[in-house]
Amino acid sequence: MTRLIGANALIVALGVTVVGLLLVTFGARRQRAEWVEAGYSATYLQFALVTAATFAMIFGLVSHDFSIDYVAQVGSRATPLYYTVISLWGALEGSILFWGWVLSLLTALVVFWNRDRGGKLIPYTTATLLGVGIFFQILLVGPAHPFGLVSPVPLDGPGPNPLLQNHWLMGIHPPLLYLGYVGMTVPFAFAMGAMAAGEVGDTGWIRLSRRWLLGAWAFLTAAIIAGMWWSYEVLGWGGYWAWDPVENASFMPWLTATAFLHSVMVQERRGLLKLWNLNLIVATFVLTILGTFLTRSGVLTSVHAFTEGNIGYYFLVAIAIVLLLSFVLVAGNSEKLTSDGQLEGTASRGSVFLLNNLFLTAFTFTVLVGTLFPLVAEAVRGVKVSVGEPFFNRMTVPICVALLFLMGVGPALPWKAADRATIRRKLLPPAIGSGVALLVALFAGTRDVFALLAFMFAAFALVANVGEFVEGARLRMQQRGESAPLALSELVNANRRRYGGYVAHLGVVAVAAAITAASTFKTEYEGTIKKGESLKIGENMAVRLDEVWGREEPQRAVIGTTLTLLKNGREIATLDPRMNFYPTSQQPVPTPAVRSRPTGDIYVNLQAFQQDGSNATLRVIVEPLVPWIWLGGMIICCGALISMLPVPGAARVRAAARAESAERAPGATTPVTAS
């Protein structure tokens, strides 16, 4: 019953989507408003149907309905409820279903919010979204059909992939990632819609896309950080980023989207970079699809990949269509995208944005080359290679350092050409800050040049961005006599987009400083110790092995150790790193024990144990500041949220105009007007 509801809902959804696509496209071409309206309604129906299928699947999972192919594949009666529900995205078919559901939700929302405004491009935008929707629905009725019949019905299933049922973060990371990925489809659809409607020269589509892009960007940021956290907490090697193809796949669209968030301001203010911005939006979407293709089709190996079947060919066809269509449309429209303004002076915020885009693009390109190089090498020279971490680090660390520096310079500079006095006044405090950071870092024992630069520029950016808040609030306090907290909140409220951006910068500073500190000052200790013995950690700390124990859980067997963390001989904490044995996996999945403090983590992983429980081999990693990576990610997302919040009512146009004119160059060529 559940199975039939799900299966049929998906088939009908595909039909509805195809009809909807035809209706909006031909309705717009032939100017038949009632066709377009009917097409809009189809998006709601599509959402309802895919929702029905998704809920049918969740119900099937929770009720252990093993007649459903997907449930029989990932379900198990022994799996706890939480992991049963999240196994919705634990394997290929379910993740495609979930993806399709998010896409149908966003499509319906785009239509709901924009059908009565936004003009000619909305029907084509809807058509693009429905086109992408058709792809996922073809997958769902074809090669990734999750509702196949299993006969006779099994009594029980194997349960989800051990790596996915080992940590609660797996309930967070994939949905965030899908929201980020799918969210990037919406700005792309606006861009395609604008091109199809011949409105690509206007800023209309950019205005419509801004919040969508910011939202998707925030989700993608959160997803990347959550993914790092998951790999830190589950994989047991004490790291969080390995330049794995799957990680790169999520990082590349993030880079291009970040570049767009900055360069779009140059277009809004100065009428420049129109073609460039269009390219960034298209590239962002293409990179999300490329990343999905690389990791779902078995082209590249990865710890995270779940692969299989002929689904890769469908992706190949889709990616070919997307690439050809978007390249052809963008190039064919490029003449309409000439600049109608220019930058003023080299030392202005606009030129910092240009540099920022240059570095972010170089960053993206480096990651892309590093990811695809094994494929190229095998195609051209027939050798199997992999591109190691050294390549990525060597290439990207200087870029990161430069970006950190720009992140401090940009906010400090005005849009118009800055005179020397302004530059000196604005950049002196950050420069002092970076000097202090340099001394502290040298004193702490940093010797690596790039690490020193990273600490310096992180401090530079920190002081510069905090300075913007301080200066703005102080001005308000003087001019309006507001109290400090009021002045600060009013300052942010009056220009949420700008100050939200600065908040995000502070988050990036936290992440960058934490990663630099963690990789510079990371120390590792490893040893085999007997029960009652201790392993020394640094000068004054140690872990004592109290017990090696085992317990049987319904879905797995757990071997753990009980450890006591000692500081100067005093007991300060109990730790219990574990190893989990799942019946479907020959290799145990570790659960390291992490003791987190704002100053850093003590990370203990159980490497091996003696079967009689007499000793255990432990690896202890001391990693300073690591929690600030996760915290910084949250700060970035808060910044994006602040930037997204609308200022209520018409006040927003005036408020924005007022706040910006205070700082705006007199010769602004394309003032932003909100409709």
Binding to other proteins (CB under 8 A): which residues in 551-570?
A: 551-552, 557, 559-560
Of 187-226, binders to other proteins (CB under 8 A) are 189, 192-193, 195-198
Residues 6 or more apart whose Cβ sits within 8 Å of residue 358: none
Per-residue burial over 176-192, b if 16 or more Cβ lie within 10 Å, else e, is bbbbbbbbbbbbbbbbb
Which CA distances in Å does 569 have to 534, 541, 574, 592? 10, 8, 14, 23
What single-letter DSSP state applies at residue 551? E
Identify the residue whose tokens are 């529900």: 85
Nearer to other proteins, 195 or 214 (CB): 195
Nearer to other proteins, 321 or 440 (CB): 321
Closest distance to other proteins from the beta carbon of 663 (Å): 26
Torsions phi, psi for 513 (to 5 deg): -65, -40
The residue within the footprint of other proteins, chosen from 55, 113, 306, 373 (CB under 8 A), is 373
Of 344-363, binders to other proteins (CB under 8 A) are 358, 362
Of 153-172, binders to other proteins (CB under 8 A) are 154-158
Instruction: Show the CA angle centred on residue 253, arms to residues 397 and 175, nearest 5°.
Output: 115
Of 428-467, binders to other proteins (CB under 8 A) are none
Nearer to other proteins, 97 or 197 (CB): 197
Nearer to other proteins, 282 or 659 (CB): 282
| Listed residue (309, 310, 307) closest to 298, CA to CA | 307
Residues 6 or more apart whose Cβ sits within 8 Å of residue 609: 548, 559, 561, 579, 615, 616, 617
CA 548, CA 383: separation in Å to the nearest integer? Answer: 46
The residue within the footprint of other proteins, chosen from 135, 212, 251, 460 (CB under 8 A), is 135
Closest distance to other proteins from the beta carbon of 460 (Å): 23
Of 2-41, binders to other proteins (CB under 8 A) are 21, 25, 28-29
324 contributes a contact to other proteins by CB under 8 A: yes
The residue within the footprint of other proteins, chosen from 617, 634, 655, 664 (CB under 8 A), is 617
Closest distance to other proteins from the beta carbon of 122 (Å): 12
589 contributes a contact to other proteins by CB under 8 A: no
Contacts with other proteins by CB under 8 A: the residue count is 110
* End-to-end Cα distance, the chain: 50
Going by their DSSP bridges, the two strands 578-581 and 523-530 should be labelled as: unpaired
Element (H, E) at 559: strand 556-567
609 contributes a contact to other proteins by CB under 8 A: yes
370 contributes a contact to other proteins by CB under 8 A: yes
Residue 385 neighbours by CB distance under 10 Å: 12
Q: Is the dihedral of CA 246, 249, 254, 259 positive or negative?
A: positive
What single-letter DSSP state applies at residue 646? P
Token pair for 465: 């961005």
Beta strands in 38-150 (DSSP E): none
Rg of the chain taking only CA atoms, in angstroms: 27
Listing DSSP states for 418-437 in one string gives: PPHHHHHHHHHHHHHHHHHH
331 contributes a contact to other proteins by CB under 8 A: yes
Closest distance to other proteins from the beta carbon of 549 (Å): 4
Nearer to other proteins, 267 or 495 (CB): 267
327 contributes a contact to other proteins by CB under 8 A: yes
| Listed residue (275, 147, 267, 133) closest to 210, CA to CA | 267
The residue within the footprint of other proteins, chosen from 5, 12, 169, 325 (CB under 8 A), is 325
Of 374-393, binders to other proteins (CB under 8 A) are 375-379, 383-388, 390-391
Given the rule CB under 8 A, which of 56-64, 111-119, 185-193, 492-500 is the region that contacts other proteins? Answer: 185-193
Q: Say if CB 74 and CB 87 are below 8 A apart.
A: yes
* Site map 73..92 versus other proteins, x via CB under 8 A: x-------------------
548 contributes a contact to other proteins by CB under 8 A: yes
Q: Say if CB 164 and CB 170 are below 8 A apart.
A: yes
The residue within the footprint of other proteins, chosen from 338, 483, 540, 584 (CB under 8 A), is 584
Listing DSSP states for 363-374 in one string gives: HHHHHHHHHHHH
Torsion of CA 465, 395, 451, 598, to 10 degrees: 60
Closest distance to other proteins from the beta carbon of 524 (Å): 9
Residues 6 or more apart whose Cβ sits within 8 Å of residue 69: 93, 145, 146, 147, 148, 149, 150
| Listed residue (215, 40, 41) closest to 124, CA to CA | 40
The residue within the footprint of other proteins, chosen from 118, 162, 527, 624 (CB under 8 A), is 527
Which CA distances in Å does 191 have to 10, 117, 424, 438, 596? 28, 16, 41, 45, 44
Nearer to other proteins, 127 or 224 (CB): 127
Nearer to other proteins, 215 or 370 (CB): 370
311 contributes a contact to other proteins by CB under 8 A: no
Instruction: Show the CA angle centred on residue 370, arms to residues 178 and 295, nearest 5°.
Output: 35
Nearer to other proteins, 580 or 643 (CB): 580
Torsion of CA 630, 631, 636, 640, to 10 degrees: 110
Closest distance to other proteins from the beta carbon of 75 (Å): 10
Nearer to other proteins, 507 or 588 (CB): 588
Torsions phi, psi for 555 (to 5 deg): -100, -5
Identify the residue whose tokens are 């144990």: 609
Torsions phi, psi for 434 (to 5 deg): -70, -30
The residue within the footprint of other proteins, chosen from 612, 648, 649, 650 (CB under 8 A), is 612
Given the rule CB under 8 A, which of 128-136, 219-227, 434-442, 592-600 is the region that contacts other proteins? Answer: 128-136
| Listed residue (11, 47, 3, 26) closest to 153, CA to CA | 3
* Site map 282..301 versus other proteins, x via CB under 8 A: --------x--xx--xxxxx
Closest distance to other proteins from the beta carbon of 383 (Å): 7
613 contributes a contact to other proteins by CB under 8 A: yes
Nearer to other proteins, 52 or 275 (CB): 275
394 contributes a contact to other proteins by CB under 8 A: yes
Of 472-501, binders to other proteins (CB under 8 A) are none
Closest distance to other proteins from the beta carbon of 275 (Å): 11
What pairs with residue 579 in β-bridges?
559, 590
Of 395-434, binders to other proteins (CB under 8 A) are 395
Closest distance to other proteins from the beta carbon of 572 (Å): 23
Nearer to other proteins, 107 or 495 (CB): 107
The residue within the footprint of other proteins, chosen from 127, 144, 563, 642 (CB under 8 A), is 127
The residue within the footprint of other proteins, chosen from 48, 141, 172, 329 (CB under 8 A), is 329
526 contributes a contact to other proteins by CB under 8 A: yes
* Site map 637..656 versus other proteins, x via CB under 8 A: --------------------
